Amino acid sequence: MIYCFDLDDTLCSGTSMKYEEAEPFIDRINRVNQLYDTGHTIKIFTARGSETGIDWRHVTEEQLSNWGLRYHILLLGKPAADVYVDDKACHEKDFAWRLD
């Protein structure tokens, strides 16, 4: 299965574009790593820089590495929006984050 996770406010704290200050949600990162380890494809999709044009790739890759997050691809360029409507969407509050 292919999973595509948002980053800010999903896998780490939201920081009002002060991305260097983001703190990881370790329980959620552990769950993503479990999915990765069991053979699922993990994509991280973020809107970092979408409104400002700033390239946050290096900072983001370094954070993900420091946090121990395992993934296959990091995608920047997610359009900034207040609401996303998608036929395959799952709100982060509804996702099964627990490691049962």
Question: Are 71 and 64 contacting, i.e. CB atoms less than 8 angstroms apart?
Answer: yes
Q: Which residue has the higher pLDDT, 50 or 99?
A: 50
Supply the pTM of this predicted model. 0.88
25-75 pLDDT per residue, tens: 999 999 999 999 999 999 999 999 999 999 999 999 999 999 999 999 999
| Phi, psi (degrees; rounded to nearest 5) at 90 | -140, 120
- What residue ranges do the domains of the chain occupy? 2-76
> Which residue, among 27, 20, 64, has the nearest Cα to 42 in the 3D structure?
64
Q: Could you tell me which CATH class the domain 2-76 is placed in?
A: alpha beta
